[in-house]
Structure 1
Amino acid sequence: MSASTTSFLLRDSPDPAFHIRDMAAADLATALHFSEDIGWPHRLSDWRLLSDLGQGRVVEAHGGLAAVGQRWTWGTQAGSIGLLVAAPAYRGGPSERRLLADLMAGLFDRSIVLYAFGDRLPLAQSAGFHQDGGIEQWQGRPRPAPLMPLPDGARLRPASRRDVASLAALDARASGMSREPMIAAWLDHAMHAIVLDNEMEAVGFAIMRRFGRGVYIGPVAAANALQAQAMIAHLCSAATGRFLRIDVRSEIVAEMRPWLTALGLSCVTTVPMMRHGPALAVDPKVRHIAIAAQALG
């Protein structure tokens, strides 16, 4: 652990007014209220789905909740932190620093991913996180998307529960995180999920699920932008008339901006991906095109 991280963890003197504990199901309504107050689109069901995959922690102060957050462990090498949000009176204060330190400590020596929107950037930097890419958030009501040609021998097909292991393996190669429980949950809650096969072998996939004000596409894994666009086009056609969001990785989005704009989507923000610990091991033959969620990466 770096000296800067150690300093962050020890920054605040113990304060009996603050108490950190596991998040309970009864805390989700308050967490939703916190997130609505800062403009997040999450529904209670979105909080519940994400919480079921990880471990929530909360800071109590003066008889109520001051801040909430979540951590997720992805195998023995990686983890992510997200859904870190505080009550108005506690934003930017020691309760958030204490909670981030607690969430990091629970991930031990794993590499940690955190998407640092807004005022989360200086908080993450003070905890020893460094930028490692990012995403562009695109959203809107998509126009019907023209179908994209596929290479010879390739086909799109619906994903099913039988594909969990192979899609989790593709996701791990693309993201560097072992997330089979997430892939299984996303398939269980998918509106549509498709697999790109090449000569009967899965080489890419994309999942669309309900989220916030409409639907969300992610994760998307493929060898290149054209393969990703073929899958996204298929899902956009199924989402016509709905509000759609997709968070595209910054290292590939330049290849897709004109196409996303032609679909009727707009880039509304960019968010840096912050990493604490060693770089994640990824396979350059499978690219992480769009993330599963800003909370998860």
Structure 2
Amino acid sequence: MSAVETSTLVYRPFTTDDIAAAHALSVEAKWPHRADDWRFVLDAGAGFIAQDGGRVVGTALFWKYGDGGGSLGMVIVAPDCQGKGIGRKLMELLLDALGERITMLHATPAGEPLYARLGFERIGAIHQHQSADFTVPRIDLAQGERLREIEPRDTATLIALASRASGFDRSALLPALLDVARGVVLERDGDVLGFALIREFGRGHAIGPVVSVTHDGQHARRAQALIAHWLAHNEDRFTRIDTPDESGLSAWLGDIGLKRVDTVVKMARNGTPPHDPSVVQFAIVNQALG
């Protein structure tokens, strides 16, 4: 799109030159994102800027997954510019870009009414857990199971598992994550039953996604083993995990010292992401990408 002017405001595409200003805006909003976190999500998608007299006063990004899915996030309006319709205009630009795709977002209580008016419906919740003061739990592997580092030959399998668990095509996002993250798989007899990634994010590190198959009913234990592996490697370091409410993992995370500090509402428009119940996502990538 070309620049669109509304009064003294200009709405235009988000470029890499805007990362520093967007990062400053997120710091003002007390978000933990580093400039590199902004760079990663922008490289994975696209978005828009609201600018007033050369000052960036609003941001919004979106991501497309395959032919039918999408998500949006990083929607911020400068505190002194709120109440002027900037957030709504940015949302309208995002929704025009995403069209009829099944679109997911995570909403704060303050943002939920606006999203509901734009056609989003509540479909779940995400619990944010974090701490540097946690206990590394001992989770025994079942006979024949082992953890190993992710190898290039695993990529196609991990894309398939991540796509089935999230309900979105991860064929572009997962390889991008593997470029910036470390990862392990849990396998048995050569079959990958789950995996977990860890990467630098915000105040420290984030674990996610964490995915496990459900066919034998041991998926929660496997997810705990995958998470425990990375906690052992990250002991005494700030670690964050965002877990879907339906995974049932939140209480366990709290028990080991990863405190729940926030809960956001998961919302969707144009339908619900088609999750495969035989694979569960125990931790998301982040609240923007799901």
Measured against aligned partners, the alpha-carbon deviations of 1:200-250 in whole angstroms (never above 9, x if no partner) come to 121211101011111100111113211100100001000101001000110
Pick from 213, 225, 229 the counterpart of residue 203 of structure 2. Answer: 213
AA of the residue aligned to 1:67:
G
CA distance in 2, matches of 1:132, 1:43: 29
Q: Does 1:240 align with 2:246?
A: no
Matching residue of 1:262:
255
In the TM superposition, residue 63 of structure 1 has moved relative to its aligned partner by 3.5
Structure 1 stretch displaced more, 279-288 or 83-92: 83-92
In the TM superposition, residue 57 of structure 1 has moved relative to its aligned partner by 1.0
Structure 1 stretch displaced more, 97-106 or 158-167: 158-167
Kept in 2: contact 1:164–1:180 (CA 8 A)? no
Kept in 1: contact 2:45–2:61 (CA 8 A)? yes
Kept in 2: contact 1:143–1:237 (CA 8 A)? no
Matching residue of 2:273:
280
Which secondary structure state, in structure 2, belongs to the residue aligned with residue 106 of structure 1? Answer: helix
TM-score, normalised on structure 1?
Answer: 0.90
AA of the residue aligned to 2:229:
H
In the TM superposition, residue 143 of structure 1 has moved relative to its aligned partner by 3.5
Query: What is the percent sequence identity of the aligned residues?
Result: 37
Matching residue of 2:193:
203
Structure 1 stretch displaced more, 135-144 or 285-294: 135-144
In the TM superposition, residue 256 of structure 1 has moved relative to its aligned partner by 4.7
In the TM superposition, residue 135 of structure 1 has moved relative to its aligned partner by 0.7
Which secondary structure state, in structure 1, belongs to the residue aligned with residue 159 of structure 2? Answer: helix
In the TM superposition, residue 144 of structure 1 has moved relative to its aligned partner by 4.7
Kept in 2: contact 1:171–1:221 (CA 8 A)? yes
CA distance in 1, matches of 2:114, 2:18: 24
Matching residue of 2:216:
none
Q: Does 1:84 align with 2:79?
A: no
Matching residue of 1:227:
222
* Pairing 1:129-144 to 2, within 5 Å after superposition: 129-144=120-135
Which secondary structure state, in structure 2, belongs to the residue aligned with residue 138 of structure 1? Answer: strand
Measured against aligned partners, the alpha-carbon deviations of 1:97-149 in whole angstroms (never above 9, x if no partner) come to 01101011101110001110242212211211111101111110144523312
Structure 1 stretch displaced more, 262-271 or 96-105: 262-271
Pick from 146, 153, 158 the counterpart of residue 162 of structure 1. Answer: 153
Kept in 2: contact 1:204–1:222 (CA 8 A)? yes
AA of the residue aligned to 1:248:
T
1:89/1:146 Cα in 2 relative to 1: closer, same or farther (>3 Å)? closer
Kept in 1: contact 2:127–2:250 (CA 8 A)? no
Measured against aligned partners, the alpha-carbon deviations of 1:156-179 in whole angstroms (never above 9, x if no partner) come to 111133322211110011011112
Kept in 2: contact 1:136–1:248 (CA 8 A)? yes
Which secondary structure state, in structure 2, belongs to the residue aligned with residue 124 of structure 1? Answer: helix
AA of the residue aligned to 1:220:
V
Kept in 1: contact 2:109–2:265 (CA 8 A)? no
In the TM superposition, residue 197 of structure 1 has moved relative to its aligned partner by 1.3
> Which consecutive aligned stretches of 4+ in structure 1 deviate over 4 angstroms post-superposition?
none
Pick from 20, 32, 55 the counterpart of residue 29 of structure 1. Answer: 20
Q: What stretches of structure 2 of length at least 5 have no aligned partner?
A: 214-218
Structure 1 stretch displaced more, 91-100 or 239-248: 91-100
CA distance in 1, matches of 2:84, 2:155: 41
Matching residue of 1:147:
138
CA distance in 2, matches of 1:171, 1:116: 22
Q: Aligned residues, how many?
A: 281
Q: Does 1:112 align with 2:103?
A: yes
In the TM superposition, residue 15 of structure 1 has moved relative to its aligned partner by 3.0
CA distance in 2, matches of 1:115, 1:209: 21
RMSD over aligned Cα atoms: 1.6
